[in-house]
Amino acid sequence: MATGVFSSRRASIKERTLRTDKWWLQPAFTFGVLFTFVIYSTFRAFENNYYWADPLISPFYSPCLSTACVEGASHFGQPIGSILLGGMLLSPAFYILVIPLGFRLTCYYYRKAYYRSFWMSPPACAVAEPHKKYTGETRAPLILQNGHRWFFYLGLILNIILTYDAVIAFKSPEGEWGHVTVGSLVLTANATLLWLYSLSCHTCRHTIGGRLKNFSKHPTRYKAWTIVSKLNSRHPLFAWISLFGVALTDFYVRQVASGSLENLPIFTF
Amino acid sequence: MSKKFNFRIWRGDSKSGDFKDVQVEVNEGEVVLDVIHRVQATQMSDLAVRWNCKAGKCGSCSMEINGKPRLACMTRMNSFEEGETVTVTPLRAFPVIRDLVTDVSYNYKKAMEVPAFEPPADLQPGEYRMAQVDVERSQEFRKCIECFLCQNTCHVIRDHEENKESFSGPRFFIRMAELDMHPLDTIKNRKQMAQEEHGLGMCNITKCCTEVCPEHIKITDNAIIPMKERVVDVKYDPLRWLGSKIRKKEGI
Amino acid sequence: MSQAMERYSYDVVVIGAGGAGLRAAVEARQAGLSVAIICKSLFGKAHTVMAEGGAAAAMGNVNDNDGWKVHFRDTMRGGKFLNNWRMAELHAKESPDRIWELESWGALFDRTKEGKISQRNFGGHEYPRLAHVGDRTGLELIRTMQQRIVALQQKDKKEFGDAEKFIKVFSELTITEILKEGDRVSGAYGYWRESGDEVLFESSAVVLATGGVGKSFKITSNSWEGTGDGHALALKAGSALVDMEFVQFHPTGMVWPPSVRGILVTESVRGDGGVLTNSEGRRFMFDYIPEVFKDKYADNEAEADRWYKDQNNNRRPPELLPRDEVARAINSEVKAGRGSPHGGVFLDVSSRLPAEEIKRRLPSMWHQFKELADVDITEEPMEVGPTCHYVMGGVKVDPDTAAAVGVEGLFAAGEVAGGMHGSNRLGGNSLSDLLVFGRRAGAGAAAYVKSLAQKPKVSDGEISRAKNRLNAPFSGTGGENPYTLHQELQNLTQDLVGIIRTESELTDAIVKLDSIRDRSTRVRADGGRAFNPGFHLALDLENMLLVSESIAKSALARKESRGGHTRDDYPKMDSEWRQYNHLSRWNGSKVEVAPEEALMLPKELLELFELDELKKYFTQGELAKGGM
C-alpha cells in the first residue's frame, strides 16, 4: 500500500521530491568523508604498529593498556593484560576506539549526518525516504542512542589522557622538558579540538545547566550554560575538524614512528 | 519593470489532481503569494489558497515551492531567475482539501493531547514573579506561528502515514519543552509523557524542522535535544536508576 | 440548488476567534454554558496575532505613579472626549486583572528586574504601560487564549469524556446571517469555507467579535478577514453602529515594496527611540504638536532625547503623539514634497540604538524588513507612511454587558464594538479592550441566556432567507468579477473616504458606492462551492459595501476634524460636535446616519481633569453644568 507522500488522501504527485536545488550534494559529501575515515581508522586499528614515537603517541592507541602495546607506549601501565582474538593479540586500538567511536556514533550531530547520508532517513528535507517502516530511536538497537551521556563522560577521561599525551610531547626522548616540535603542536591542537568538540556537545550543555528549571537561582551554572550554548551552536564544525584532527594526528605519528618523517624540532625553551 | 514567470500550480482535490501551467506577470518586490493572488484574480478565480496576514506572522500560507516547505508570503520572487519555472504544491504531509489547501486537523488533535500549563494552586494572578532569564527559553518556543511547516517536513509522518497515531511532531515537542522549562509549571512528568505518549523517541534529530522554521526557532537544538536529554535524566540514566533502587530498599 | 445543511444547538455562538471572541467564550463556558466558536480562518490565525506593541494596563510595574485614573485620562484625551466614558472607565479599571489572568493561563510576558511584567512606553500613554513580549504581543495573547480554550476542553474531556461537550471550535466557517424571532436572536447561519456546505446554529445569544473593516481600504494593515462582517451582521439584524467616521490610519505602515504596502511597523519603534525625519533630515514632528498637547510634549530635540532616560522631569518626544496626529503630519510632509523616495517618510532607529539592542527589542520588525524589503533596520532607516489600521466606530453596546442596542441576545466586543475609543484609539488599548470587553460580553451573554424562560425558535422562513443569500453568487445573471469590484471599492474608499476628507469627495463616494452595490448584485462566482475564494469574496463584498457606506455617510455628517476623522473643509475640532455621536442603521435598502446626543461625563470623572484642559474639549455650557 502506498504510504508517505503517496498516501491516498494526499495531493497526487508522482515525484518523490520537487526540489530543484542540489539537495544530494551534502549527504553525498558527508558519506564520502565519513566513509573514508572509517576505512582509514579500520586500517590503522588492524595495523597495530607505528603508534609510538617517543614522546608522541597516536590518539588511536592512547591510553595503551594491554600487553600488546609496544614498549614505552603504556603511560598508565598494562592493567588489561592480554586479550586474544583467534589466537592473536588484539590490537590495543580496538578497546580504545570504542569510546570515541561510541561518543561520535551517539552524538546528536553525527546522528543527523549519518541518518541522512548513510541511512537516507531522510536523505534531505522534503525528499521522500526509501524505507517502508520507521520507528526511530524507540527500540533496539537505536534506543541505545540514549547512552550518549556515558560516552560523554568516558570521552572526558580520554580527553584528559590525550591532554597528558600532548603535555609530555613537549619532552625530548631523553626526558628533558621544553622541546617544542611539530609533533607536540599537533598533539596539542588535537587535544584542544577534542575538548572543543566534547564541551560543545548537547549533553554537556544539558548537564552543565540546561536541565535546570530556574537559571536565576544558579547564576554560575547559568553563565556556564550560556558559554556552552555559544560553543554548541558550532558543534557541527567542531565535530568535523576534530575528526580530521584525530586522523591527521594519527597519520603524523604513524609517519614519524615508521621512520618516513622526522619529528621536526621547532625550538627549545 | 514587470517580468514574466512560468508557474506550475498543483490543482485538484483528495481524489485526483495535476499541475496546471500559467504564465504570469511579476512586479518588483513581489512574493509568491502576490503572484498566486494575481493568478486568482485574472486566470483562476476559484484557485484555493489559504492566507491571512501576508506578513509572516500568522502562518497560514504554508505550501511547497520548488519542493521546499515555505510560507508563500515570505518567499520573494527575486530569489528565482527570470524565466525559471516555479512549482507550487500543497503541503505533502497532510491530506489535500483543494488546490493549495490542506487539512491540518492532525495538528489541532495533537494540541489537545498536551496537558496545559498548571500553575501552583495557591499562586494568585498578579503575584507571579519570574526572572527574564527563566522565561527566555520558553519565550523562544512561544514565537511559534503554527504554520506547521515543521510538521510537514518531518519525515516521521511525511513519509510514514501510520506514525501519525503515535507521533506528535516538532511543533508539539517545542510546546512540551516550553512547559517543561516554564519556571512555574507544576506538572512533573512531562518528560515521560513526551517519550511515552508523544513519540519523542521517534525523532532522529535530522533537523529538517529547524531548517524550515520561518521564525528561526532552534527546534532541534533548543527543544527536542534538551527534551531527549531530560528523558535520559529520568529514564535512561543508570546512576539515577541505581540510586532509586537503593533508596527504595532503604524505604526513603 | 439545494445544499447540505448541518444543524447545531448551543447556548452561545461566538463569531470570531480573535482575542475578544475567545475571551468571551471562556467566560460563557465558565458560567456553565455551551459555546460554539466560529473562526473564519484556522483556529489561532485571527488578526489579533498582528498586534505588536503590547497591551495597555495600569499595573504600575515600571512607574508606580500609574493607576486606572491616569489610564482613563489618557484614553479620554486620545479619543478627544468622544469616548463612551463608562467603557473607558471599565477598561482602565479592569485591564490589569485581565493581563494577570493571562499569565496564570501560561502567557510569558517580558519581565522587569523584580520579576514582574515589564511595561513599555507608547504613544499617548503618560507612563510605561504596555505589557509586551518583544514585538509579538498579539501572538502571545491569541496563543494564550487558544491554549486556554484547549485547557477547558481537556478538563471537559476528563470530566465528561467529551472535549467538545461545552466548547466546539468551528474553523474556516463564515457566518452570513443572524437569525431572529421577533426582536430576539434565535441563531446564526453560515457555510463551511472548505466544502461550501451550510450550517445552522440555533442559539439564543450571539457574540460578535469579528474585528475590523480594513479590507474596505486599499492600503491597510488588516488581513483578508477584516471585511466588517460583524458590523454588517449587526446592521442587518437591526442594531446600530456608532461613530463609523472614525477610522484610524496607523502612521507607520510599510510603503515599499508595493506588495507589502500597508503592513504595520510597530509603534514600539518610536517608543524605543526611533525618530521620524523627512527628506531634508529634519525631525518634523516638532512642527506638528497641536495646541492641546503643548504642555505634554517636548518642543526641542534635547528634551525629547532626555525623556527616554528620565520621564519624570522631561516632556515626551512628539513622535509619540497620538496616532491621528502623527499620521496627519506624515501626510502633510509627503504632500509638501518632503517625503521619501517611495512616498513615505523615514523612520530611523539605526542611529539611535546599537544593532544588538534593536534586534533584541524589535526582533520581528528586523525580520520583517530584512525579509520583505531587503532593508536592515540596524543600518538604515525604514520608509513608512499611514495605513488603515483600526475602526473606532462599531456596534453600539451597553458598556457593562456588551449587549448590542436594538437586538436582544446580540452582543459585541473588541474592534467590532464602538464607543470605547472615541474618535481615536491609543496604541495598546486594543489588546486590553479585547480582554476586558470580551469577558464582559461572555458574561453578558451568559446572564441573558440564563434569564430567558424560553429559547427563541428558528423559523423556516429565516432559514430560506439565509439560504437564498448564499445561493446568490451562483444564481446571478453574472457579468461582474468579485475581485474587480473589490479593487474598485478599495480605490474609492482610499481616495475619497481616506485620511483627509471633503464634502464633495464624500458625496461623490456615496454615489459611487451605490453603483458598486448595484453591480455587486450581478457578481457571479465561477467553479463550485468547495474552498472557492471567488465565492467567499462575493459574499464578503456586501459587508464591505455596507461598512463603507456607513463610514462615508457618517463622515459627511460630521463637519469638524477630530481624531480619526479629518475634514479638509472643516479642519478644526469643534466642541459643539463633541456633543454628538453618529448612529448608522440599515433601512433595508441603504444605511441611514443620524446624530445622537453624546454622554456627558459624571462629575467624579470630570474632576480627574484640570479645568483648563476640559475647556479645550467642552463647551462653556457643558462645563457650567459640571458633569452628569
Question: Residue B135's closest chain A neighbor by CA?
Answer: A214
Q: How far is CA C448 from each of CA C38, C403, C438, C442, rounded to the nearest angstrom? A: 20, 9, 15, 10
List the subunits that have 3+ CB pairs under 8 angstroms with C: B
Q: What subunits make at least 3 CB pairs under 8 angstroms with B? A: A, C
Chain A residue with CA closest to B66: the answer is A19
Asked whether residue C493 is assigned to any structural domain, the reply reads: yes
Does A142 sit within 8 Å of B204, measured CB to CB? yes
pLDDT digits (tens, 9 = 90+) for C66-124: 999 999 999 999 999 999 999 999 999 999 999 999 999 999 999 999 999 999 998 89
Residue C369 lies in a domain: yes
Using an 8 Å CB-CB cutoff, list chain B residues near A144: none
Best to test chain B binding among A5, A8, A13 (most B CBs inside 10 Å): A13
For residues C383 and C479, state if they share a domain.
Answer: no
Global model pTM greater than 0.90: yes
> What's the DSSP call for residue C427?
T
Give me the pLDDT at residue A1, please: 59
Query: Are C139 and B99 a contacting pair at CB < 8 A?
Result: no
* pLDDT score at C2: 62
Report residue B47 as a C-alpha cell.
484557485
Residue A5, domain member (yes or no) = no
**Is C101 a domain residue?**
no
Question: Which strand (E) or helix (H) includes residue B105?
Answer: helix B105-112
- The span from the CA of C193 to the CA of B101, in Å, is 11
Q: Is position A191 within any domain? A: yes
Q: Count CB pairs under 8 A between chains B and C.
A: 172
Q: Look up residue C609 and give its three cell numbers.
A: 481633569
- pLDDT tens column, C537-580: 999 999 999 999 999 999 999 999 999 999 999 999 999 999 99
Residues of chain C with pLDDT below 70 are 1-2
Question: Domain check: are C275 and C384 in the same one?
Answer: yes
The residue in chain B having the minimum alpha-carbon distance to the alpha carbon of residue A135 is B202
User: Which residues of chain B neighbour C387 with C-beta distances below 8 Å?
Assistant: none
A1 assigned to some structural domain = no
ipTM of the complex: 0.94
Residues of chain A with pLDDT under 70: 1
pLDDT of residue B251: 43
On whether residue C16 sits in a domain, the answer given is no
List beta partners, residue C38.
C15, C170
SS (H, E, C) C178-204: EEEECCEEEEEEEEECCCCCEEEEECC
On chain B, the residues whose CB falls within 8 A of the CB of A18 are 64, 66-67, 87, 89
pLDDT of residue C625: 87
Phi, psi (5° rounding) for residue B92?
Answer: -100, 5
Task: Return residues 42-101 of A near B (CB < 8 Å).
Answer: none
Q: How far is B171 from chain C (nearest CA, A)?
A: 13
CA-CA distance, A171 to A189, in Å (whole number)? 16
User: Chain A 132-151, CB below 8 Å of chain B: which residues?
Assistant: 133-138, 142-143, 146-150
Contact B131 C223 (CB under 8 A): no
Total number of domains in chain C: 2
How far apart (Å, rounded) are the C-alpha atoms in residues C397 and C417?
7
- Do B159 and A128 make contact, defined as CB atoms within 8 angstroms? yes
- CATH (domain of C555): 1.20.58.100
Longest Cα–Cα distance in chain B:
81
Decide if C139 and B145 are in contact by the 8 Å CB cutoff.
yes
CA C559 from chain centre, in angstroms, equals: 24
Neighbour order of strands in the sheet with B17-26: B17-26, B3-12, B85-89, B62-65, B68-71
Contact C243, C393 (CB under 8 A): yes
Residue in chain B closest to C226 (alpha carbons) equals B52
Domain range enclosing C285: 252-389
Q: Are C364 and C256 within one domain?
A: yes
Task: Give dist(CA A101, CA A121) in Å, integer.
Answer: 21
Residues 6+ apart with CB under 8 A from C547: C213, C216, C228, C231, C232, C244, C391
Closest Cα of chain B to A34: distance in Å? 17
CA–CA distance, A33 with A243 (Å, rounded to integer): 10
The residue among C389, C415, C446 that closes a domain is C389
- Length in residues, chain C: 628
C270 flagged as catalytic: yes
Which CATH number applies to B3-102: 3.40.190.10, 3.10.20.30, 3.40.1190.20, 2.40.30.30? 3.10.20.30
Q: Which residues of B touch C531 (CB under 8 A)?
A: 48, 97-99, 101
Q: In whole angstroms, give the CA distance from residue A158 to residue A63.
A: 8
Q: Which CATH superfamily is domain B105-239 in?
A: Alpha-helical ferredoxin (1.10.1060.10)
A33 within some domain: yes
Q: Which regions in chain B score pLDDT beneath 50?
A: 250-252
Residues 6+ apart with CB under 8 A from C208: C15, C16, C230, C233, C234, C395, C404, C410, C411, C412, C413, C416, C417
Out of C71, C136, C231, C250, the active site residue is C250
Of C77, C132, C261, C270, which is the active-site residue? Answer: C270
Distance CA A137, CA A141 (A): 8
Helices A219-232 and A235-257 pack at an angle, to 10 degrees, of 70
- Ordered by start, the domain boundaries in chain B are 3-102, 105-239
Partners of C150 on chain B (C-beta within 8 Å) are 111-112, 116
* Residues of B with Cβ-Cβ distance to C133 under 8 angstroms: 139, 142
Same domain membership, residue C485 and residue C385: no
Q: What is the pLDDT of residue A246?
A: 97
Q: Based on the structure, what is the number of domains in chain A? A: 1
Which range of residues forms the domain containing residue A213?
A: 22-268
Whether residue A126 and residue B160 make contact (CB cut-off 8 A), yes or no, is no
